Amino acid sequence: MKQFQILGLALFLAMPFLTFAQISNNGIDQRLNDKYSIEYLNDLKSQDPAALDYLNYFVENVYRIIDMPDKQIACLDLKRVDVTNNQPITLAEMENFNLYKYNCTVLPDKRMFYKIKNTGKLLIIKSEKELKDSFSNDQRLSGNNK
């Protein structure tokens, strides 16, 4: 039992470092390039690093993929924004999920649900409020209040 507690504590302490796995050596998550110009992101990095920290956190934590529940749930079909790519969406591409490449919407106070066809999986897009609250909590816990 004590081993599980130690392992749980180690994973909890490592989460802030694991969260930013997609971040390149310039401190910018590459998925952001699909929405923002590199000039804008570099300006944020130098002028408002807290805003860049939030955007990095956002693209990594805005979603969750779960098994499709047994009960009916109101959801949309997940589709690519690039309509020229009509290949089926695979679970492998969901490993590096980029919100900006799909028809996902982030609402202020409500989660959105998307069915990933032919996978038995459901994509959950968290609300802005959820993300801001969890970002604030993570910053507070890691001592990075900005």
Whether the pLDDT of residue 25 is over 90: the answer is no
Task: Write down the residue that tokens 């180690």 correspond to.
Answer: 10
CB 94 within 8 A of CB 118: no
Phi, psi at 86, each rounded to 5°: -105, 20
Task: Average the pLDDT over 3-32 and give the result.
Answer: 59
Model confidence over 66-114: pLDDT tens digits? 999 999 999 999 999 998 988 999 999 999 899 999 999 999 999 999 9
Residue 49 vs residues 28, 121, 140, 146: alpha-carbon distances, Å: 10, 35, 16, 9
Report pTM: 0.78
Considering 6-10, 15-19, 101-105, the range whose residues carry the highest mean pLDDT is 101-105
Closest CA to 97 of 59, 66, 128: 59
Domain coordinates in residue numbering, the chain: 1-62+128-146, 63-125
22 pLDDT more than 80: no
